[in-house]
Amino acid sequence: MGIASTYPLASRASGDFILGVNGAGNVKRFAEAGREILRAARTYYVRTDGNDSNDGLANTSGGAFLTIGACLAHIAAMIDCGGQVVTVQVGDGTYTARVTVPLMVGLLSPTDLILRGNTTTPANCLISVFGEFAAIFVGGPGTGMTIEGFKLVTDGRALACWWESLVYMNNMDFGACSGSHLDVQGGSHLYRLHDYTISGGAACHLDVSNSGIIETYGHTVTITGAPAFSVAFVESLVLGAVIDAGVTYTGAATGPRYLVEDNGVIATFGGGASYFPGDVAGSTARGGQYS
């Protein structure tokens, strides 16, 4: 099943009517629910000197949102994406509120909702969240996004993808985390699409369960500072699947290389027992498969 069929364009309320055309050439058409239907790509801005009462349409302190969550909530409540690309551009700085990605109306693909920080130096755009179960949470059928250019630090999970969500991930920096860096479960699917960095330890770097899937093909993951992974660098449980083909891991880590149990699967396509970083041998149990 292709992405377009997985993420159908949401049906619109009847009684739509044309209000006019703005300076960017977008036709502003509002459904009965009051949603603006986009006719061209749009960028919203978030800055540390912004304000959540702004509309997010200008990259200034008087135009940008203050928090990422408020920006996403505004898009979910007020916008029909109309099959257009919507980018949330986040300025450098530190953001301390949990980010929850809601279901968007009119989104054809998670590649069309882009949450973007600093793709050159992700550490300059830090999401540092404490006292929450995840720094970024994506959950629910039809929910998804592309995320790139952030460093994540938290006492919970860094990026949690649950309940049949779909996420594409580009160049990131995963810092110290008490839970797992990438927690994918409940039929969710995460693709690692670009080189990225691990600069802090966690319970696991990759953690899948309950039919979650993480796929990666042919990228480089740079590990700095020999971080520790207390459970395992990669964990796959209860029909979870990690598909990791031709990935180059540079740098050292401590802890078990992998843990696969309860019919979970880790497929390295011949990478061998030392494919993943760590200084303790991996293990399998109760129908877990490592290859």
Q: Which of 15-19, 34-38, 255-259, 263-267 has the lowest mean pLDDT?
A: 15-19
For 176-224, the pLDDT digits (tens) are: 999 999 999 999 999 999 999 999 999 999 999 999 999 999 999 999 9
Report the candidate in 251, 214, 210, 259 with the shortest Cα–Cα distance to residue 233. Answer: 259
Structure confidence at residue 29 (pLDDT): 43
13-22, 155-164, 243-252: which has the minimum mean pLDDT?
13-22
First to last CA, the chain: 26
Residue 291, both tokens: 């290859």
DSSP SS3 for 124 = helix
Burial class of residue 186 in the structure, from the number of CB atoms within 10 Å of its CB (0-12 exposed, 13-18 middle, 19+ buried): middle
The pLDDT, as a whole number, for residue 17 is 32
Q: Are 107 and 114 in contact (CB under 8 A)?
A: no
For 71-85, what is the mean pLDDT? 97
Tell whether the model's pLDDT for residue 31 goes beyond 60: no
Task: Give the pLDDT confidence score for residue 27 in this predicted structure.
Answer: 38
Q: Check: pTM over 0.85? Answer yes or no.
A: yes
Contacts (Cβ under 8 Å, ≥6 apart) of 274: 257
Q: Using CB atoms within 10 A of its CB, is residue 7 exposed (0-12), middle (13-18) or buried (19+)?
A: buried
* pLDDT band per the 50, 70, 90 thresholds, residue 34: confident
| Percent residues over pLDDT 70 in the chain | 89
Q: How many CB atoms lie within 10 A of CB 85?
A: 18
Tokens 């990422």 correspond to what residue? 68
- Bridging pattern class, strands 258-261 and 151-154: unpaired
For the stretch 233-286, pLDDT in tens is: 999 999 999 999 999 999 999 999 999 999 999 999 999 999 999 999 999 999
Output the furthest CA–CA distance in the chain (Å, rounded). 64
Dump pLDDT digits (tens) for 116-127: 999 999 999 999
Closest CA to 121 of 154, 76, 91: 91
Q: Is the dihedral of CA 278, 279, 281, 284 positive or negative?
A: negative
Residue 21, pLDDT > 50, answer: no
Give me the half-sphere count of Cα atoms (radius 13 Å) on the Cβ side of residue 34: 5
Q: Residue 33: pLDDT band by 50, 70, 90 thresholds?
A: low
- Return the CA Rg of the chain: 20
How high does pLDDT run on average in the chain? 91
Q: How far is CA 10 from CA 4, 7, 77, 108, 202, in A?
A: 11, 8, 14, 8, 38
Residue 162 has pLDDT above 60, yes or no: yes
Answer yes or no: is pLDDT of 82 > 80.
Answer: yes
The span from the CA of 22 to the CA of 246, in Å, is 48
